[in-house]
Structure 1
């Protein structure tokens, strides 16, 4: 008799996301995921025939979420400065909650190939780059290649969190103190981007 889906499939994916993205257990086994979800391994294999299929499903959901957040931030009708402020807020909140998500995504892209990138649409990014160019022409922000602008922005947001374990050790600071530093980043990044600050 087949198992009835009472949310078990989503529970398994959500548990895998927590282990992979929040706790950094990138090599979690199906048994570890099943145990953390409170289901037996048979149930996990009913919904996902293998660890690879579970990881692929988690990857697809993560990429869809990333694409949706990018689209919402970049296609917002807000003025440019508010749009950047909102983008920083959204991404810092997400990255603080799931500091290992980007590491997971990069690892999977490098392992499984570019076909996994299908969910990221270029339209919103291209439109945003045009807005960046317009702001540069107005003199609101420094003139550089708009692609560099966007790569710099994402680097300022993600790199400190990707490197958090090393930085906490290097600077001999607690997790709480490191989080306080991360919470200061929005103001610092805005100050770096906009000349008038």
Structure 2
């Protein structure tokens, strides 16, 4: 049996990620993915056998990447506010580059089932929730369930980018002007989350 060309396999996965995550083409067919990658559909099927297997491979890599980014930000040896600043920067950078990644992940969780969730580690999140509780006890954060704090943080980060096409139309602003608003979010989020001294 001939060895697979992992360069072609990676090209197909990276092309699928670009179509799904950056361009929002969540329903791209294997033919569309093959065409965008510059390979024939037979090559795509050689590496992944079906669209579902390609989706599963892309999903698993994306979830693993998300888990690693969460762990790096949440377990960093930094003061809490610096951790939050870093988390905001990392996620805004990712979401600006791949605005449809979260939509893809949620869609695939609902479609393929929760067994695919095994790639995300809960350890860093549990540790971070303890850090949030410590900050609340110090009085730097408003008192609430630490889970609400984390859900609020992620909502403030992701929702505006997920809804960007609607917001640009609703507010009648250009892509460039919307990008300026998004770049202002770090300071705005920090102001909303932390108590004033």
**Which TM-score applies when normalising by structure 1?**
0.97
Alignment of 1:124-143 (within 5 A): 124-143=124-143
Q: After TM superposition, what 4+ stretches of structure 1 lie above 2 angstroms from structure 2?
A: 1-4
The answer for the alignment partner of 2:185 in structure 1 is 185
Q: CA distance change for structure 1 residues 56 and 178 in 2, over 3 Å: closer, same or farther?
A: same
Aligned to 1:61: 61
Map 1:71-82 to 2 at 5 A: 71-82=71-82
CA RMSD of aligned residues (A): 1.1
Residue pairs, 1:114-125, within 5 angstroms:
114-125=114-125
Q: How many Å separate the matches in 1 of 2:58 and 2:6?
A: 19
Matched residue SS, 2:119: coil
Structure 1: 5+ residue stretches without partners: none
SS in 1 for 2:172: coil
Where does 1:33-48 land on structure 2 (aligned, <5 Å)?
A: 33-48=33-48
Q: CA–CA distance in 1 between the matches of 2:39 and 2:62?
A: 22
TM-score (norm 2): 0.97
Distance 1:6 1:75 in 2: 33
1:144 counterpart SS class: coil
Partner of 1:108: 108
1:13 partnered with 2:16? no
The aligned length equals 197
Distance 2:72 2:86 in 1: 10
Shift in alpha-carbon separation, 1:4–1:114, aligned structure 2, 3 A = closer
